[in-house]
Chains A and B, each alone.
Chain A
Amino acid sequence: MGAGHTHALYVHEHSPVHALPPHVKVVATVAFVVTVAVTPASAGPVFAVAALLLAAVTRLARVPLRFVVARLVVVVPFLLVALMVPFVASGERTEVLGVSVAAEGLVAGFGIAARASLGATASILLAATTEVPRLLRGLERLRVPPVLTQIATFMVRYLEVVAGELGRMRTAMVARGHDPRWLWQARPVAAATGALFVRSYERGERVHAAMLARGYTGTMPQLDEESEVTTATWARALAPAVLLVAVLVVWAVLT
């Protein structure tokens, strides 16, 4: 708990991207990501356009490029997979720098790497420009069942608390010489996990009781009024996705 209620993944700025209504942003992101996901692996130029569009949005949102790149480490394992694909894939072989690789696998590996990084960049930008509670309320507006969004709200709210508790337990264990190297030494880890569950659950009980005491009836009060979204706003938000679809169609027609 305590200070700093914005999330580490959020970049506080005042930009046109930040100002977009969250549910509009979610739809725009999903549209963009789906377009990237359906782009064939051989469509190099389309991926390049997608990268440029994301760069433009990053610029417009005043999100530091370094922030986006640092967050992209999430996809590194899949880039490794993509690197391996040409070597393990079946089919016709070609030579690259004197090494025999599968021709089809080379293209497919590129496809995996491109889609993974572009998709991740899009969701990084969504998280960087939208505070999580607003994002979840946006999802609710998109007819996601409120039970799910409310569980998510509480989860995000208490994630740092629970993770902090886990961190303190780990520190305490290490301070007492905990350095497991083999599976049969894992019992303290498991005991800590069990204790963490009990503590989280009991915190949940306390939070629930405290909320009931303050008149909680099962739904959270709406704090900001939901204004109608104009067509112009939708058009601006969806512009990158629409542009990308257009480029993809042009590419498909040309080849």
Chain B
Amino acid sequence: MHAPDGFLTVPAAVGTGLISAGAVGAALRQSREQLGEQQVPLAGLTAAFVFAAQMVNFPVAAGTTGHLMGGALAAVLLGPWVGLLVVSVVVIVQALVFADGGISALGYNLINMAVVTSLGGWGVFRLGRRVLPKTRVGVAVAAGLAGGASVVISAMAFSLEWLVGASVPVAFDRVFGAMVGVHTLIGIGEGAITGLAVAAVLASRPDLVTGAVGLEPPRGPRTRVRPFAIGAVVVSLLVAAVVAQFAVDDPDGLERVAEDTGFAASAQDHPLGNSIFADYATAGVADESTSLAIAGISGTLLTLAVGGGLFSAVRRRGPSTSSPTQPVG
């Protein structure tokens, strides 16, 4: 996602720059209470954590790996505004010190990687928490949905920026189809890791998860499946519907995308130069025309499968991580 200099036109860079400056300014104001200047060392270490988390490779399929963006994870752990601030610092330092992402591209890189992932991820997380049971599992699943959605939202944001400020004559629907297609796949991994990581933090230091404020003490290992199932179906159908709306002419085959995400493997070679290699390399590559319906449905099914898998994985963890005060059942 780290776009280089001149990837979008100058007006787009200036416009997105103003938007991200506004968002970072708002985050500075909003987080002033939570982040009294005394707390700065803590924020700095969590920023180091986000930077390191972006080096975490997770398996996608058959030895192919993706890696974490971390915006939604930061938002769930730290709250949306501090999360936004911390991820913004990561993106700015990556551009200035690591030459990862252009300096003049900071406007759109900040929007795509910090602003929409934290705020969008937080929105999905709040929605999820409203629907899901008020348990650790509920929070973890909501975080997972937020993580998955944040990557797709980020890809959509990039595509919209492309619509406004493309520097290259590649059609919008092609970019949108490829970006959102690839990122739905990456989003599944991001969602699984985000949800499970939040579950792991909840197990040891639940007080550190800002998004779990007001969580009732655990009532026992029994969890209700139905609210989660409904939430998962609604979210995944929503995603599929939105993808279908835009990817009109030329949706890319998911198989092709999966092959091409092999790029991601090369990201391991230089742990500090981390960019999601799959992102742009595949954008607009696939010329295979697969039918819209297949793309939409397989996307939905994949989301469902992973959502269900995530749920059962978290649930299995439930009893083993229960605190001593919890009734054993």
Q: Interface on A for B, CB 8 Å cutoff?
A: 7-9, 26, 29-30, 33-34, 36-39, 41, 71-75, 77-78, 80-81, 84-85, 88-91, 102, 104-105, 108-109, 111-112, 115-116, 118-124, 126-127, 132, 135, 139, 145, 147-148, 150-159, 161-163, 165-166, 180-187, 189-198, 200-205, 207-208, 211-212, 216, 218-219
Contact = CB atoms under 8 A, between A and B. Distances in A.
A192 B43 CA distance: 20
A208 B99 contact: no
Contacts of B44: 150-155, 157-158, 204
Interface string B161-173: 0000001111100
What size tier do the contact residues of chain B reach? 35 or more
Contacts of B37: 147, 150, 218-219
CB-CB nearest 9 A-B residue pairs? A154-B44, A194-B200, A119-B5, A115-B6, A190-B196, A116-B4, A218-B37, A204-B45, A155-B47
A183 B45 contact: no
How would you classify the secondary structure of chain B's contact residues: helix, strand, loop or mixed? helix
Given A123-B95, A194-B196, A186 B283 contact: no
Nearest to B279: A77
A36 B13 CA distance: 13
| Dominant secondary structure of chain A at its interface with chain B | helix
Interface in B79-103: 85-86, 88-90, 92-93, 95-100, 102-103
A9 B97 contact: yes
B104 A33 contact: yes
B287 interface: yes
Interface in B174-221: 174, 188-189, 192-201, 203-205, 208
B193 to A, nearest CB: 5
A74 B169 contact: no
B38 A208 contact: yes
B263 interface: yes
Given A127-B97, A189-B58, A84 B168 contact: no
B193 A74 contact: no
Contacts of A162: 45, 48-49, 51-52
Contacts of A194: 196-201, 203-204
Given A30-B103, A37-B102, A111-B6, A207 B56 contact: no
Nearest to A165: B52
Given A74-B98, A112-B168, A180-B59, A196 B280 contact: no
Given A120-B5, A148-B92, A195-B200, A74 B46 contact: no
A37 B170 contact: no
B97 A151 contact: no
Contact of A9 (B47, B98, B285): B98
Contacts of B93: 152, 155-156
18 contacts: A26-B96, A71-B273, A75-B4, A77-B280, A78-B280, A84-B281, A108-B167, A123-B102, A151-B40, A152-B47, A155-B44, A163-B52, A180-B58, A183-B306, A186-B59, A197-B197, A200-B48, A218-B37
Interface stretch (B61-69, B123-131, B222-230): B61-69
Given A81-B280, A152-B92, A159-B51, A119 B104 contact: yes
A200 B41 contact: no
Contact of B45 (A78, A119, A154, A187): A154
A73 B7 contact: no
Contacts of B88: 148
Contacts of B99: 71-72, 74-75, 120-121, 123-124, 127
Contacts of A145: 28
B121 to A, nearest CB: 15
B284 interface: yes
A147 B96 contact: no
Given A90-B170, A123-B96, A186-B58, A181 B6 contact: no
Contacts of A151: 40, 43-44, 47, 85-86, 89
Contacts of A132: 97
B168 A197 contact: no
Contacts of A41: 167
A157 B48 CA distance: 9
Contacts of A207: 41, 45
B103 A33 contact: yes
B189 A186 contact: yes
